[in-house]
Amino acid sequence: MTLAIYPASFDPVTNGHVDIAARASRLFDELVVAAFHATSKSNRLFTTEERLEMLQDSLRHLPNVRVESYTGLTAYHAREIGANVIVRGLRTVSDFEWELQLTQNYRTLVPGMEIVCLMTSQNYSFMSSSMVKEIARFGGDITGMVPPQVAERLYTAYGITK
């Protein structure tokens, strides 16, 4: 059985994240979508619990996907849960440079760990959680960028009535 982990902050989860998770779930027997829980003060909009709820709501249609949070180093958490693959999403060339550095560090920390980078689908390549938050903060239309329940939570967090 191949267990893979797809780690990120997911603050908030976007349709791009959902797309990567859905595609990865078809490649591996089980996929753990893991939201990083920052133990120090962070600039996250949503708490870990809120991010987990949004992930569970957004991914419940994928039967072999489990949602959890973690702290510490991603590579060590992957090893702790028995994952032998770390899934990452790539949107741009600059993402590639960062992911290459992460890959080398993961492999240094946990030799034998495989890293699989999935190219984002074209219709999601322009979006990031940061950009979605910025658009929502000013009342812009985020339909199509995030699942509907995530859009509601974003607008509520910014006091926007839609």
91 is catalytic: yes
129 is catalytic: yes
**C-alpha to C-alpha distance for 90 and 119, rounded to whole angstroms:** 5
Q: How far is CA 3 from the centre of its chain?
A: 16
Catalytic residue among 40, 41, 61, 94: 41
Residues 115, 106: contact at Cβ < 8 Å? yes
Report CA Rg, the chain: 15
Q: Helical H runs in 6-147?
A: 15-27, 48-59, 74-81, 93-109, 129-137
41 is catalytic: yes
Catalytic residue among 23, 79, 91, 137: 91
17 is catalytic: yes
Catalytic residue among 37, 44, 51, 129: 129
Q: How far is CA 111 from the centre of its chain?
A: 23
Catalytic residue among 17, 44, 77, 153: 17
Q: State both tokens at 138.
A: 């000013």
Q: Which residues are catalytic?
A: 17, 41, 91, 129
